[in-house]
Chains A and B, each alone.
Chain A
């Protein structure tokens, strides 16, 4: 399975994402730049975390309007898997590839710590290597991760199993509605989440709870 990583000015977790994909798939991902209008044939496109365009206007707002995101949308429409982590999630939401919005944390503080996540849907391309309801650990690092969606959208997300990750056991770091940490689109191939699974994939990280996400997506046996 081949992957691509989207690069934008101001992202700072791109190397972590490249390292995780390389270590888990055995093949380094290709990188695509903000001005690229085409993305090579890959199975998975990853949009890493960081602070694209300095979080100006709204987190992810400027990045979502860059040419590369039109290319990502075209690939997503064709069924290519897309994962957005942290700022990548904010970009996917701003680009309209995922519903809702990510707002300022209710604490108003930048939160950098480990949280617990409940696998709310283990029947997705990204979570099939987890057990339903399984609790995993994951780092978070963000100031704008407070997921919001209107009542109708929320009903649809909950009803269709599109909530994939939930903050567990009172660890919600940002006040997100229904403890939502990550959602998937209706087609089931575009995932966005605030936590950083790419930063918990090997013993040197202090655990490998995030590894199964990439193994699921890349079709690699555990």
Chain B
């Protein structure tokens, strides 16, 4: 079995109001020097597959077709 972690983040230039709110909250809590905060998503996926290359191709297809909205989001796949 292959385990993978997929990270989905907003593309540069796409407004992230949630990240902004978190940024302000951190500053308000007294964490000085907080720069930009961007919020993303993490998916831990288990695959019944032993071929690493095949798994990676499948995971990328999953990102393109469902897990990420490539209009606004980038993704990265890490097999753990």
**Does B18 make an interface contact (CB < 8 A)?**
yes
**Does A108 make an interface contact (CB < 8 A)?**
yes
Interface core residue of B14, B18, B72 (most chain A CB under 10 Å)? B72
**Does B17 make an interface contact (CB < 8 A)?**
yes
A100 to chain B, nearest CB (A): 6
Main secondary structure of the interface of A (DSSP, over half): loop
Interface core residue of A58, A150, A175 (most chain B CB under 10 Å)? A58
Counting contact residues on chain B (CB < 8 A from A), the size range is 10 to 19
**Does A105 make an interface contact (CB < 8 A)?**
yes
A146 to B18, CA, bound (A): 13
**Does A104 make an interface contact (CB < 8 A)?**
yes
Contact B17 A105, beta carbon cutoff 8 Å:
yes
User: Of B18, B67, B69, which one neighbours A101 at CB under 8 angstroms?
Assistant: B69
Size of A's binding interface in residues, CB under 8 A: 19
A58 to B69, CA, bound (A): 8
- Given the known interface contacts A101-B72, A103-B72, A149-B71, the answer about A61 and B66 at a Cβ–Cβ threshold of 8 Å is yes
A101 to B10, CA, bound (A): 12
Interface string of A105-122 (1 = CB under 8 A from B): 111100000000000000
Contact B66 A106, beta carbon cutoff 8 Å:
no
A107 to B18, CA, bound (A): 9
Q: Which residues of A contact B14 (CB under 8 A)?
A: 103, 148
Main secondary structure of the interface of B (DSSP, over half): helix
Q: Which residues of B contact A108 (CB under 8 A)?
A: 17-18, 21
Find residues 51-67 in chain A having any chain B CB closer than 8 Å to their own CB: 57-58, 61, 65
Q: Which residue of chain B lies nearest to A153 when distances are taken between CB atoms in the complex? A: B71
**Does B15 make an interface contact (CB < 8 A)?**
yes
Interface core residue of B15, B67, B69 (most chain A CB under 10 Å)? B69
**Does A94 make an interface contact (CB < 8 A)?**
yes
Q: Which residue of chain B lies nearest to A105 when distances are taken between CB atoms in the complex? A: B17
Give 24 CB contacts A-B under 8 Å: A57-B66, A57-B67, A65-B66, A94-B69, A99-B71, A100-B71, A101-B71, A101-B72, A103-B15, A103-B72, A106-B15, A106-B17, A108-B17, A108-B18, A108-B21, A146-B15, A146-B17, A148-B14, A148-B15, A148-B71, A149-B71, A150-B71, A175-B15, A175-B17
Other than A106-B17, A108-B17, A146-B15, give 5 A-B pairs with Cβ distance below 8 A: A57-B67, A61-B66, A103-B17, A104-B17, A104-B18
